[in-house]
Chain A
Amino acid sequence: MHNFWVTVKHTIRQRLLSKSFLWSTIIMMLLIIGFINADQILSFFSGEENREGGSIVAVVDDTGQDEEIITMLLENKSETVHYHHYNEGDVEDALQEASDGAFDFVLSLSGDSTSLEATFFSDSSDYNMNEIVNQDVQRVKEAVVTKELDLNEEELAMIHAPVSFQIETLTEDGKVQTEESRMQAYWMVYGLVFAIYLIVLSFGTIIATEVATEKSSRVMELIVSSINPIVQMFGKLVGIGIVGVINLLSLFVAGMIGFTLNDTDVFQFFTRGSLDISLLWYALLFIVLGYFVYGGVAAMLGALVSRAEEVNQALQPLIFLAMIAFFIAIFGLNTPDSMMIQVLSYIPFFTPQLLFLRIGMGTVPMWEMVVIIGILVLSAIAINILAARVYKGGVLMYGKFSLKDGIKRALTLAKKES
């Protein structure tokens, strides 16, 4: 156990003190802060484009309603839209002036209050605008009509009183998906699938490269004469895992800094209560298990090559696996309950992504969850036992890399009988 921690410490130290790690983390942090504040940075460079107080909409009024609608519309003060009564010509003139830059959009109103027709001349850059203007016009129309009908406050309140709409689950252990929770689950699944992919890609490469470097510099033989290669392998896995956590934490801190600069209340997102906290725990569990499944294989592959240059070639099959899991999961986001996703979620290399997808986007019976996670844990152990045995023989083995022969030779070396 002593040597395990010595190796963990050594691995972390070597990583954290390396210049490339330091710089890549700093660059990633800056990128994240920059990305979150992209709108502010962009508006800084194109400051005058964004007029104070939002876009100006020229309103051409052909309703003949004693300008009641247009007056109420003009009273509508918001940060994003300013309505301007255009009475120097018809729609054509207004459009002409808009294209000259006097206005951002043109709104034409016709008909009367009961059958109001509105045409909004917009461009493709801001689909939000259509929605906002539509709502404004709708509201003004409702106000004008209720006024015409001469309804009193009470009657008005009766019209606007919302229906009590409750959602219950169909089955007892089922769960209800609101649009909000669905979107949150969607992004969390997306995030996790992506995170696992990145972890396999970057940390798998780090693990394998580190092993291969120790082999190619021939320091490995000295190390394994002092420490059981299996202990050393797990020390490395855990050490690099901790470095990964430090890495993620620093990116998280960068995100926090970014949001603080942007005046967004990040904590609201977590404290609002709509986020399913159990989902976060599952994410954590799957990242850890996924790390050991893929990391074990990466260490094994690293032990099979003799030179650091061969690492990429050796890692190819593992990266393909992660890629396949990634695409299946992305595809499965839309059909989380399909047979294919269900079956594939039993395969250990796909479980972290696909079972999380199923938990987040659909419903998984408890027994199935236990079985699948059980399979994942057992196979993580089995993979690491196999990896450790190959590792033990592999670290003493030099020569040309070949996956099949390599594993066979390494197992032979590690074994007593051959």
Chain B
Amino acid sequence: MTLVVNHVKKRFGKHMAVDGITLTVNKGEMFGLLGANGAGKTTTFRMILGLLEPTEGVITWENHPLSYRRTNLIGYLPEERGLYPKLTVKEQLLYLMSLKGMSKAAILRALREWLDRFDIRDYENKKIEELSKGNQQKIQFIASVLHQPELLILDEPFSGLDPVNMEMLKEAVLDLHEAGTTIVFSSHQMGNVEELCEDLIILKKGKAVLQGNLREIKRSYGLKKVIIHSDNDLSYLQSVPGVIHVEKVKDGAIVRMEKEEVAEAVFDAIANKGFVRHFEVVEPSLHDIFVDKAGGEDDA
């Protein structure tokens, strides 16, 4: 009952878009696929969906490759949003969902529930081009979940949403998760990933640079930082061995270090150099890990 991606590669001409990634997503799990632009996220999704054939490797869902005979099991929210601009919300979903094998009555019933949930009940007979971008996005989300898929793939589900709508959508995703839907999603907003997913993979140029359980990754990740609140100039900390970077912020500085032990040296260094209101060693955020791992000279 799992999604298995096994040593999958995809080559476009000379360009290796996905270079040998392996991952397993258990049933009911929420999985994050991270990476800078062009890292191979969308290509991976397309291969999972069967839109593209892997050059090498296999992808299976419950021990079978996904094919068009089983698309009703899958929901997909593409990164490039798109619906028929000239069709109404109802016409739109009647077509898209009947492609998933749903009956007309079932589609309409589910659609009305979702429209109620998103507070856009009046838009049922409006054309897509008449809706605001945020509302179009809600319709697009509905189009990916209306048929109650077992596997839901969300490519950048929260991009372009205002905070209110983002919360609304996040809640919907969490509810689906609780209902047992297996969800794989990608996002640029690390905050969302930290809140939502348990396991993740970070891609860089088609390769997995980091992979595993989010909490374990954070705990075992060598990169640590110290937050210091002080009125004094702290730039001299740069010379402490093991310190990577000293970032000056409004009420002090954030010091990045190679490992936790360096914190002692930093503490010693500032101990007799004036007053310090605050000194805290914190775990790195996913953002820090992402920038450290996925960033680089060609980060887009």
Q: What are the interface flags for A390-418 relative to B under an 8 Å C-beta threshold, 1 for contact and 0 otherwise? A: 00000010000000000000001111111
- Residue A225 contacts which of B54, B74, B84 (CB distance < 8 angstroms)? B74
Give the size of the chain B interface in residues (CB under 8 angstroms).
31
Interface extent on A, as a size class? 20 to 34
**Which residues of chain B are within 8 angstroms of A219 by Cβ–Cβ distance?**
82-84
Task: Determine chain A's interface SS by DSSP, over half rule.
Answer: helix
From A225, A396, A413, name the one whose CB has the most chain B CB atoms within 10 angstroms.
A225
Give Cα A221 to B82, complex, Å: 8
A417 near B98: Cβ-Cβ < 8 Å: no
Given A217-B84, A217-B85; A223-B11 close (CB under 8 Å) = no
B180 proximal to A (CB < 8 A):
no
Contact at B99–A221, with CB atoms within 8 Å?
A: no
B30 on the A face (CB < 8 A) = no
Is A224 an interface residue, CB under 8 A from the partner? yes
Cβ–Cβ < 8 Å partners of A416 in chain B: 53-55
Prevailing SS type, chain B contact patch: loop
> Quick check: A418 and B11 within 8 Å, CB to CB?
yes
Q: A226-B71, A416-B53 are in contact. Are A217 and B95 (CB under 8 A)?
A: no
Given contacts A3-B99, A10-B95, A219-B83, contact A228 B68 (CB under 8 A): yes
For B80, list chain A residues within 8 Å (CB). Answer: 218, 221
Count chain B CB atoms within 10 A of each CB in A6, A222, A228, A417 and give the residue with the most.
Answer: A222
Flag whether A41 is at the interface (Cβ < 8 A).
Answer: no
Which one, B44-52, B108-116, B187-195, B269-277, is touching chain A?
B44-52
Chain A residues contacting B83 (CB-CB under 8 Å) are 217, 219, 222
- In the complex, the answer to whether A227 meets B99 with C-beta atoms within 8 Å is yes
Query: Between A and B, how many residue pairs show CB distances below 8 Å?
Result: 70
B236 interface hit (Cβ, 8 Å):
no
Assess whether B138 is interfacial by the CB under 8 Å rule.
no
Which residues of B lie under 8 Å from residue A226 when comparing CB positions? 71, 96, 99-100
Residues in B88-106 with C-beta less than 8 Å from chain A: 95-96, 98-101
Closest to B77 in A: A222
Are B53 and A415 in touch, CB under 8 angstroms?
yes
Contacts of A227 in B (CB 8 A): 68, 71, 99
| Contact call A413/B52, Cβ cutoff below 8 A | yes
Could you tell me if B143 and A222 are in contact, using CB atoms closer than 8 angstroms?
Answer: yes
A16 interfacial contact with B, CB 8 Å: no
Assembly CA distance A3 to B51 (angstroms): 16
Q: How far is the CB of A94 from chain B (nearest CB, A)?
A: 70
The reply on A220 being an interface residue by CB < 8 A is yes
Cβ–Cβ contact A396 & B99, under 8 A: no
Say whether B38 faces chain A, with CB atoms less than 8 Å apart. no
Does A2 belong to the interface (CB within 8 Å)? Answer: yes
Query: Which residues of B sit under 8 angstroms from A231, Cβ to Cβ?
Result: 68
**A interface footprint on B196-232 (CB within 8 Å = 1, 0 otherwise):** 0000000000000000000000000000000000000
Chain B residues with Cβ below 8 Å from A414 are: 53
B99 x A412 contact (CB < 8 A): no
Which residues 49-63 in B have Cβ within 8 Å of A in the complex?
A: 49, 51-55
Contacts of B100 in A (CB 8 A): 226
Q: Which residues of A contact B46 (CB under 8 A)?
A: 396
The distance from the CB of B66 to the nearest CB of chain A, in whole angstroms, is: 10
Query: Provided the pairs A396-B46, A396-B52 are in contact, do residues A223 and B99 lie with their beta carbons within 8 angstroms?
Result: yes
Collect the chain A residues with CB atoms within 8 Å of residue B85's CB. Answer: 217
A139 smallest CB distance to B (angstroms): 68
Per-position 1/0 for A204-222, Cβ under 8 A of B:
0000000000100111111
**In the complex, are the beta carbons of B101 and A225 less than 8 A apart?**
no
Contact B49 A225 (CB under 8 A): yes
Name A240-264 residues within 8 Å CB distance of B: none
B78 and chain A: residue at smallest CB distance: A221
Task: Give the nearest-CB partner of A14 in chain B.
Answer: B87
CA distance A413 to B11 in the complex (A): 9
Q: Give the CA-CA distance A413 to B54 in the complex, in Å.
A: 10
- Is B76 located at the chain interface by the 8 A CB criterion? yes
Are B12 and A418 touching (Cβ within 8 A)? yes
Which chain B residues in 261-283 approach chain A with CB under 8 Å? none
Residues on B with C-beta less than 8 A from A224 are 51
* Known A217-B82, A418-B13: A222·B76 in contact at CB below 8 Å: yes
B140: chain A residues within 8 A (beta carbon): 222
Q: How far is the CB of B203 from chain A (nearest CB, A)?
A: 19
Contacts of A214 in B (CB 8 A): 84
Nearest CB of B to A231, in Å: 8
Q: Give the distance in Å from the alpha carbon of A7 to the alpha carbon of B98 in the complex.
A: 9
Does B121 make an interface contact (CB < 8 A)? no
B126 interface residue, CB < 8 Å from A? no
Chain B residues whose CB sits within 8 angstroms of the CB of A396 once the complex forms: 46, 51-52
Does B133 interact with chain A (Cβ within 8 Å)?
Answer: no
B81 at the interface (CB under 8 A from A): yes
- In the assembled complex, the CB of B232 is this many whole angstroms from the nearest CB of chain A, namely 54
Once the chains are docked, how many angstroms separate the CA of A221 from the CA of B87? 17
Shortest A216–chain B CB gap in Å is: 9
Give the residue of A3, A14, A218, A412 whose beta carbon is less than 8 angstroms from that of B13. A412
Whether A417 contacts B52 by the Cβ 8 Å rule is no
Within the complex, the shortest CB–CB distance from A240 to chain B, in Å, comes to 16
Bound CA–CA A412/B84 (angstroms): 28
**Given that A225-B51, A226-B96, A396-B51 are known contacts, is A412 also in contact with B71, CB under 8 Å in the complex?**
no
A418 to chain B, nearest CB (A): 5
Q: Are A417 and B96 in contact (CB under 8 A)?
A: no
| A173-B28 Cα distance, complex, nearest whole Å | 74
Q: When A218-B82, A415-B53 are in contact, do A6 and B95 touch as well, CB less than 8 Å?
A: yes
Residue of A nearest to B72 (CB): A226
Evaluate contact between A218 and B81: CB separation under 8 angstroms. Answer: yes
Smallest Cβ-Cβ distance to A214: which chain B residue: B84
With A219-B82, A221-B78 as contacts: A412 and B12 at CB distance below 8 Å = yes
Nearest-CB residue, chain A, relative to B82: A218
Residues of A within 8 A of B87 (CB): 14
Q: How far is the CA of A220 from the CA of B80 in the complex (A)?
A: 10
* 22 examples of A-B residue contacts, CB within 8 angstroms: A3-B68, A6-B95, A6-B98, A6-B99, A14-B87, A214-B84, A218-B78, A219-B82, A221-B78, A222-B78, A222-B82, A222-B140, A224-B51, A225-B49, A225-B71, A226-B100, A227-B71, A396-B46, A396-B51, A413-B12, A416-B54, A416-B55
The 9 nearest A-B residue pairs measured at CB? A218-B82, A226-B99, A219-B82, A416-B53, A228-B68, A225-B76, A221-B78, A218-B80, A226-B71
7 more A-B contacts (CB under 8 A) besides A413-B12, A418-B13?
Answer: A6-B98, A6-B99, A217-B83, A218-B82, A226-B99, A412-B13, A418-B55
